[in-house]
Amino acid sequence: TQLLEQSPQFLSIQEGENLTVYCNSSSVFSSLQWYRQEPGEGPVLLVTVVTGGEVKKLKRLTFQFGDARKDSSLHITAAQTGDTGLYLCAGVDTGNQFYFGTGTSLTVIP
Amino acid sequence: NAGVTQTPKFQVLKTGQSMTLQCAQDMNHEYMSWYRQDPGMGLRLIHYSVGAGITDQGEVPNGYNVSRSTTEDFPLRLLSAAPSQTSVYFCASSYSWGTSQETQYFGPGTRLLVL
């Protein structure tokens, strides 16, 4: 059962542009994590959001947890080629079980 | 400190063969897990362990076995490989299990092709 849907699935943009990736579910999560995965490597944690409505910033990346704790978004300002990768959201349920989203593959073109 | 290591990196199997994917961590983490990653489906949990001697099934456990005899090691066994098990397998670990804010550390993955 896939609980988390990410959109878009693929995204190709020019360097300097802004973008937003969405992670949606009908389930409520205790927390929501975002990971980035580069080719040939395992995912690496970027951020964890816990409180409904919470916003966290990591340099040019802004993460938001939905008020109802069912969805999240990742916004990148002025994308750079180093942002290229697969972005995965992961919801943690009340039993502390992780459920990963379907992934968004981002390519930033120089 | 090597983190999470996985072997082999690549493997080709014939249908019906068995094999073990190795996973080890040197961070003294309690929680370890195995995921498979398929295109368009994200990561799906196969099995997990909250400590030595304790294992449980995840979302897609059929065709896989695990054991956890030590804190460090968490091997994944394919009993009789099938083409549907062609995937990239990731092992992950975290310090503990029981909070919603744990960081999972992933290994580099094992790419498995079953013919």
Chain A residues in contact with B59 (beta carbon < 8 A): 1, 99
Chain A residues in contact with B44 (beta carbon < 8 A): 100
Nearest CB neighbour to A102, from listed B41, B100, B102: B41
Per-residue pLDDT of chain A (110 residues; tens, 9 = 90+): 557 999 999 999 999 999 999 999 999 999 999 999 998 899 999 999 999 999 999 999 999 999 999 999 999 999 999 999 999 999 988 877 888 998 999 999 99
Residue A11: predicted pLDDT = 97
Query: What residues contact residue B62 under an 8 Å CB cut-off, 6+ apart?
Result: none
Hey, which residues does B32 pair with through a beta bridge? B49, B93
Q: Can you tell me the distance from the alpha carbon of B45 to that of B57, in angstroms, rounded to the nearest whole number?
A: 8
Q: DSSP character for B53?
A: T
CA distance A36 to chain B (A): 11
Interface size A-B, in CB pairs within 8 Å, comes to 59
Q: Does A103 touch chain B (CB under 8 A)?
A: yes
Comparing A16-20, A54-58, B55-59, B70-74, which segment has the lowest mean pLDDT? Answer: B55-59
Does the beta-carbon distance from A40 to B109 stay under 8 Å?
A: yes
Hey, which residues does B112 pair with through a beta bridge? B11, B87
CB A62 within 8 A of CB A75: yes
pLDDT tens digits along B88-102? 999 999 987 766 678
